[in-house]
Amino acid sequence: MTRIMFIGDDFTGASDTLATLSERGARARLFLDPPKVEETASLDAVGIATDFRARPSEDIAARLGALAPALRALSPQFVHYKVCSTFDSSPQIGSIGAAVKTLEAVLAPSRTIVVGGQPSLGRYCLFGTLFARAPDGEIYRIDRHPVMSRHPVTPMDEADLRVHLARQGLEGLSLTDRKTLEAALKTDRTLVDAIEQPDIDRLGRRLAEIDDREAPLLLVGASSVAEALVPAVPPAEPDTVPVAWEPGPILAVAGSRSSATAAQVAAADSYERFALQRDDLGHPEDLAGRCASRIEAGANVMVHLQPDLDYGAPPAALSDRLAYLTGAILSRCRVAGIAVAGGDTSSVLVNQLGFRSLSFIERAGPGVAICRGQAAGSPLDGTVLLLKGGQVGAADLFERFAARFPR
């Protein structure tokens, strides 16, 4: 039996859960396709990364249904459907409800538990209402959040998660508030509040009390679910072998057009920055050659979308074109590391580059993981990858990543 199986609805979110589990001592690996049972024998937690957050609801249901035999073969005790901590989704795109209902149908869990907050990341759920810290440091109800209420694809216009998820077909959610959780965890389909870390710890204790015969349990939420399932462990011993950072230039790809990523791009002074024009993505060969030439000369290179430019393509198509451009650059030169900004971009890019799985190296900040990619037989096997969502990371994130590689 696999103790924990997590399914990420985008790649950066899945890598954050991988980081959370690994930091707490779990033997975890994130796969791009369902692993074979023999690949998981030594693991405590097995992840599968998807791009469901950017997909239509009918596509999510169909693809999860196709995954069902592989999921059942792993016989998980806990199944974590990992969603963004801000729950941004809609009935049409990235539907959490469509995913959960399909998982309930194919796995027949004994109960479904939605964890509403992740206090460690500035996400808080009280009486079923979601709040989130913004880049300015203030905490807003999610439907008044200066970023998430204006999300270009799935703006959050409802803060009550029971109402929000009911619109996506996930009806009948009861509420396990903080006071209720002190005594017990409700046994039906329920939403659990969390406004501080002891709430997550308390949930973890309740989950540990559930009899194995009730497996599988379906848990829905951010990496707070992983925090509950695997209690924190003491820090590693001082003589832990450090990561050997290979020298060489790196490539950064910024597919997010959020204000947070724009600030990170602006601060990336150690990179030669190529602001992508509309024609660059339609005919990338010339730009790929110029970028590869600069990398071969020893320069760090960053290619990035411009926040206000109309590229004449929907977000999914932009991610595909960025991934193609990245592949064209890497076919011409070698890099020591790759940094990617944007959940959709990360999902598509890592898939198209041919990686089979990821293992965790270290954190680059809250919600940002540095991983090593496994791609047997490929020149990219062992490449160091920084993967981040559009809204997370300090302004100097790319600079600090570049500084890790000896020059």
Q: pTM for the complete prediction? A: 0.83
What is the length of the chain? 407
Each residue's pLDDT tens digit, 132-180: 998 888 999 999 999 899 888 899 999 999 999 999 999 999 999 988 8
d(CA 159, CA 164): 7
pLDDT at 110: 93
- % of the chain with per-residue pLDDT over 90: 59
pLDDT at 8: 92
Each residue's pLDDT tens digit, 232-285: 655 444 444 456 678 889 999 998 888 888 999 999 999 999 999 988 888 899
Is the pLDDT assigned to residue 5 strictly greater than 60?
A: yes
Give the residue with greater pLDDT, 174 vs 51: 174
**How, if at all, do strands 174-176 and 190-192 pair?**
parallel
pLDDT at 244: 65
Indicate the pLDDT class of residue 364, thresholds 50, 70 and 90. confident
The letter for the amino acid at 296 is: E
Specify burial of residue 288 (Cβ count, 10 A radius: 0-12, 13-18, 19+): buried
Mean pLDDT, all residues of the chain: 90
Helix-helix angle 343-352:315-330, to 10 degrees: 40
Can you say whether residue 231 is alpha, beta or left, with left for phi > 0 and alpha for psi between -120 and 50 degrees?
Answer: beta
pLDDT at 1: 65
Q: What order do you get walking across the sheet with 139-141 strand by strand?
A: 123-126, 129-133, 139-141
User: What secondary structure does DSSP assign to 216-253, as a single string?
Assistant: PEEEEESTHHHHHHS---PPPPTTPPPP-PPPS-EEEE
Long-range CB pairs of 144-153 (<8 Å, 24+ gap) are 145/86, 147/258, 147/259, 147/260, 147/391, 148/86, 148/88, 148/391, 151/88, 152/257, 152/315, 153/54, 153/93, 153/94, 153/315
Nearest to 170 by CA among 97, 221, 110: 97
Specify burial of residue 248 (Cβ count, 10 A radius: 0-12, 13-18, 19+): middle
Q: The tokens 């559930």 sit on which residue?
A: 210
Average pLDDT over residues 65-76: 91
Each residue's pLDDT tens digit, 286-312: 999 999 999 999 999 999 999 888 888
Start-to-end CA span in the chain (Å): 45
Each residue's pLDDT tens digit, 191-233: 999 999 999 999 999 999 988 888 899 999 999 999 999 986 5
pLDDT at 13: 84
d(CA 64, CA 344): 18
d(CA 222, CA 194): 12
* Domains of the chain from N-terminus onward: 4-229 (3.40.50.10840), 250-403 (3.40.980.20)
pLDDT at 237: 47
Is the pLDDT assigned to residue 399 strictly greater than 80?
A: yes
d(CA 98, CA 93): 10
State which H helix or E strand residue 330 sits in.
helix 315-330
Each residue's pLDDT tens digit, 366-375: 778 899 999 9
